Structure 1
Amino acid sequence: MSEAMKPSPVKLIIGAIFPGEGILIEAKVGLEKKFGPLDFQSPLTPFNHTEYYEKEMGPDLKRQFLSFQRLISPRKLAEIKLYTNRLEKRLSRVRNSPSRTINLDPGYISAAKLVLATCKDYAHRIYLGKGVFAEVTLHFQQGTFRPRPWTFPDYRSKGYIQSFNAVREIYLRQLR
C-alpha cells in the first residue's frame, strides 16, 4: 500500500505575452511584490506561434518567461493563477483598456515536469479547485524537457526548452 506524502517544493514560473516592455515592467513589479525576487528571465522573443491574442493585445507580441527565487508548494498553483488573472485585469484598468494588455500564465517546474495552470478544462487537465485546472505540459526525460501530445507549439520550441532546462538547473541547485 502506498502512503500519502508531502510533495517537494517547486519552482514558480510565469510566462508573459505582451505588446510592449512597459506593461511587462509593471507586471514584474506586481509579481515580485507577491512572489519575491526573480532569479531567471528568458530572452524576449517574438510571440508568433498563434494569432489568438492579437484581437485583445494587437500585433507584434513578445514573450518572456520568469522564475522566482522562492520555491512554492505545488498546491498553491490555483491561488497563483487567480492572482495573475487579477493582476492582468488591474493592469488593463490602469491603462484604461477594455481588453487585456498582458497575458500571465503561471506554472511550475519540478525535477520531472513543467506544469501549467489554466481556467480552461480539457480531457488531459486536472481540476485544482476555484475554477483552475492544471496540465503537465512538458516532462523531463533523457536530459531535457520533452513535449506531450497536447503541448502548445511554442512550448515545443528549442528556445523555450533551453530556458526551462536552465530554470530546472537553478531549481535543482536550490534543493541541494
Structure 2
Amino acid sequence: MKATHFSEPAQLIAFVLQKGPEWDPVVVNLLESTWGPLRYKGKLFPFDKTDYYTPEMGDGLFRGVVSFEKCIPPETIAQEKARSNALELTTASSDNSDHRHVNVDIGYMDLDKVVLPSYKRGPFKLYAGGGVWLDMLLTYAKGEFHPTAWAFEDFKRNPYQHDLQLIRERWRKSAK
C-alpha cells in the first residue's frame, strides 16, 4: 500500500522577546522583511518570572506573539528556525559580545496546538531532523489553549490566551 503525502498548512507565528512595553518598530520591520506582512500583533507582557535572558538582553523585557499572513507546511519549520536565528544575529551588539536585542521564537499553530522548534533537545521534544527538536507547548481544546506540563512559566500563566485565540480565528477564516 502506497502512503500519500498530506500536509495541512499551519499558521506561522512568533513569540518575540524585546526590551520595553511597546513594539519596537525596528523589530516589527525585521519580522516583516523576513516573513512578510503581519496578520496580527498581540500585546506585550512583562517577561519577569525568570532572569534567564537578563545577562544577555538586560532588564525590562517583554514578550508578545505575532502571526504572519504567511502559512507554512509544518515540516518546513526547521528552515524558519534557521531564519529566526539569522534575524536575531542581525540585532546582536557589534562589540563582539553577541548580545541579542531581540529573541524570536518562531513556530506554528494548527487547529490543535502551538509548536516551537528548538536546537536544544529535551525529554518531551520530538526530533525533526537537521538538529531541530519540536516542542509542543500549548494544546487547543474546548475553546482555549492549554499549556503542557513542561511548558515555560510564561506559557503556563499564558497571558497570550486572548491573542492566540484571535490569531487562530483569523487564520481559520483566511484559510476558508
Taking structure 2 as the reference length, the TM-score comes to 0.90
Alpha-carbon deviation of 1:93?
4.4
Mark the CA change 1:5 to 1:47 in structure 2 (over 3 Å): closer, same or farther: same
Q: Which runs of 5+ in 1 are unaligned?
A: none
Is contact 1:23-1:101 (8 Å) kept?
no
After alignment, is 89-98 or 43-52 more displaced? 89-98
Kept in 2, the 8 Å contact 1:155–1:161? The answer is no
The 8 Å contact of residues 110 and 171 in structure 1, kept in 2 or not, is answered as no
- Count residues with an aligned counterpart: 176
Post-superposition offset of 1:34? 2.5
| CA displacement at 1:96 relative to structure 2 | 6.8
Residue equivalent to 2:167: 167
Give 1:78 shift.
0.5
- 2:120 corresponds to which residue? 120
The letter for the 2-side match of 1:74 is: P
Distance 1:152 1:146 in 2: 12
Deviation at 1:25, TM superposition (A): 2.4
The answer for unaligned runs of 5 or more in structure 2 is: none
1:133 matches 2:122: no
1:13-162 matches, within 5 Å, as 13-20=13-20, 24-93=24-93, 98-162=98-162
Q: Identity of paired residues, percent? A: 31
Letter in 1 for 2:32: E
Supply the distance in 1 between the matched residues of 2:137 and 2:20 (Cα, whole angstroms).
26
RMSD: 2.2
Q: Is the 1:23–1:102 contact (alpha carbons within 8 Å) kept by the matching residues of 2?
A: no
Q: CA deviation at 1:136?
A: 1.1
Go from structure 1 to structure 2 and tell me whether the alpha carbon gap of 1:170 and 1:94 turns closer, same or farther (over 3 Å shift). Answer: farther
